[in-house]
């Protein structure tokens, strides 16, 4: 913005934004500091902001209080599998929608688009029943299989494919490249940022998902991080707030780190698609 601004105005802008950022960030400070305190320090009023000793041990204790190691591995297996499978199936479908002519193309595309609007709750009971009939409840299958495909991913990748000049594909055809060869060596290399954006958003949604694991898992060994943390909040830890805050930190941290490293992809993905998880 090139509009001229007075010094007072600049000061006010900084003051308001600074205050807002302080308010938004304060809960994180509160969480981090509490995660290092002793229980006694937490129950003090008025609050004592800094712990006398920084107790890293809290993280070890919290990690051992519930089988978080197991939950962590489960979460990694589930989100990585979903991301890999969704990127693959969406890319293949996007390829068909962007560069092939076939009967029913428009109807199918509208179908894929409208699927994005379906509230997941409508599919809840039938999917639960399907997985029960397949004997998959309380297995990795139940956590992964319902998310094999993504209407959103197909749409996002198709939009990217359409920006690629068809000349490139025709040229590859003339050189005798096969259908999959063209996808692999022409389209995918040109679409890396879009694929990365979709992979990040999908990873975030499925790492953070709580509702679905709550419904299809019943044993402790099958819980994912958010579900493990939720059970931790409800009782296993009682009011051991220092441990709860430590557990909240290591549950949220992987996606926060991913975000900090790939901010641009996250922000652009969300700004372009306007989609919430």
- Segment 53 to 82, residues that bind another protein, using CB under 8 A: none
What character string, x for contact with another protein (CB under 8 A) and - otherwise, covers 228-247? -xx-xxx------x--xx-x
Task: Kindly state whether residue 121 participates in binding another protein, applying the rule CB under 8 A.
Answer: yes
Distance CA 97, CA 109 (A): 7
From the number of C-beta atoms within 10 Å of its C-beta (0-12, 13-18, 19+), residue 11 rates as: exposed
What character string, x for contact with another protein (CB under 8 A) and - otherwise, covers 212-231? --xx---------xxx-xx-
Q: Using alpha carbons only, what angle is made at residue 227 by residues 224 and 233, rounded to the nearest 5 degrees?
A: 140
Distance CA 114, CA 192 (A): 26
Task: Kindly state whether residue 172 participates in binding another protein, applying the rule CB under 8 A.
Answer: no
Task: Kindly state whether residue 14 participates in binding another protein, applying the rule CB under 8 A.
Answer: yes
List 25, 54, 56, 261, residue binding another protein (CB under 8 A)? 25
Stretch that binds another protein, among 55-63, 160-168, 191-199, 265-273 (CB under 8 A): 265-273
How far CA 129 is from CA of 45, 120, 146, 220, in Å, comes to: 51, 15, 12, 21
How many residues make contact with another protein (CB under 8 A)?
Answer: 101
Instruction: Report CA torsion sign: 79, 151, 260, 38.
Output: negative
Nearer to another protein by Cβ, of 149 and 190: the residue is 149
Minimum distance, C-beta of residue 192 to another protein, in the bound complex (Å): 20
Minimum distance, C-beta of residue 98 to another protein, in the bound complex (Å): 10
Task: Kindly state whether residue 52 participates in binding another protein, applying the rule CB under 8 A.
Answer: no
Task: Kindly state whether residue 154 participates in binding another protein, applying the rule CB under 8 A.
Answer: yes
Q: Other CB atoms closer than 10 Å to residue 90's CB: what's the count?
A: 24
Would you say 37 and 242 are in contact if contact means Cβ atoms under 8 Å apart?
yes
Task: Kindly state whether residue 96 participates in binding another protein, applying the rule CB under 8 A.
Answer: yes
Would you say 165 and 113 are in contact if contact means Cβ atoms under 8 Å apart?
no
Task: Kindly state whether residue 129 participates in binding another protein, applying the rule CB under 8 A.
Answer: yes
Cis peptide bond upstream of 118, omega within 30: no
List 138, 139, 159, 208, residue binding another protein (CB under 8 A)? 208
Which 98-117 positions form the footprint of another protein (CB under 8 A)?
100-103, 105, 108, 111-112, 115, 117
């Amino acid at each position: 913005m090139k509009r001229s601004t007075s010094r007072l105005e600049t000061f006010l802008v900084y003051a308001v934004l600074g205050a807002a950022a302080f308010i938004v960030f304060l809960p994180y400070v509160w969480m981090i500091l509490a995660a290092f305190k002793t229980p006694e320090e937490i129950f003090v009023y008025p609050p004592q902001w800094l712990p006398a000793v920084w107790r890293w041990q809290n993280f070890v204790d919290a990690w051992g209080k519930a089988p978080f190691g197991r939950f962590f591995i489960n979460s990694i297996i589930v989100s990585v599998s979903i991301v890999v499978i969704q990127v693959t199936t969406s890319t293949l479908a996007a390829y068909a929608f962007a560069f092939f002519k076939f009967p029913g193309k428009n109807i199918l595309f509208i179908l894929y688009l409208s699927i994005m609007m379906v509230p997941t709750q409508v599919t809840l009971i039938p999917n639960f029943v399907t997985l029960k009939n397949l004997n998959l409840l309380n297995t990795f299958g139940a956590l992964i299989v319902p998310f094999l495909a993504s209407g959103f991913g197909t749409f996002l990748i198709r939009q990217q494919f359409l920006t690629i000049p068809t000349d490139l594909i025709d040229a590859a055809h003339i050189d005798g490249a096969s259908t999959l060869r063209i996808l692999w060596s022409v389209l995918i290399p040109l679409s890396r940022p879009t694929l990365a954006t979709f992979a990040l958003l999908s990873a975030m949604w499925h790492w953070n998902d709580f509702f679905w694991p709550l419904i299809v898992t019943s044993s402790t060994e099958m819980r994912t991080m958010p579900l493990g943390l939720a059970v931790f909040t409800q009782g296993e830890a009682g009011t051991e707030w220092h441990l709860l805050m430590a557990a909240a930190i290591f549950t949220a941290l992987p996606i926060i780190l991913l975000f900090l490293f790939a901010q641009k992809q996250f922000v652009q993905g969300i700004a372009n698609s306007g989609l919430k998880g």
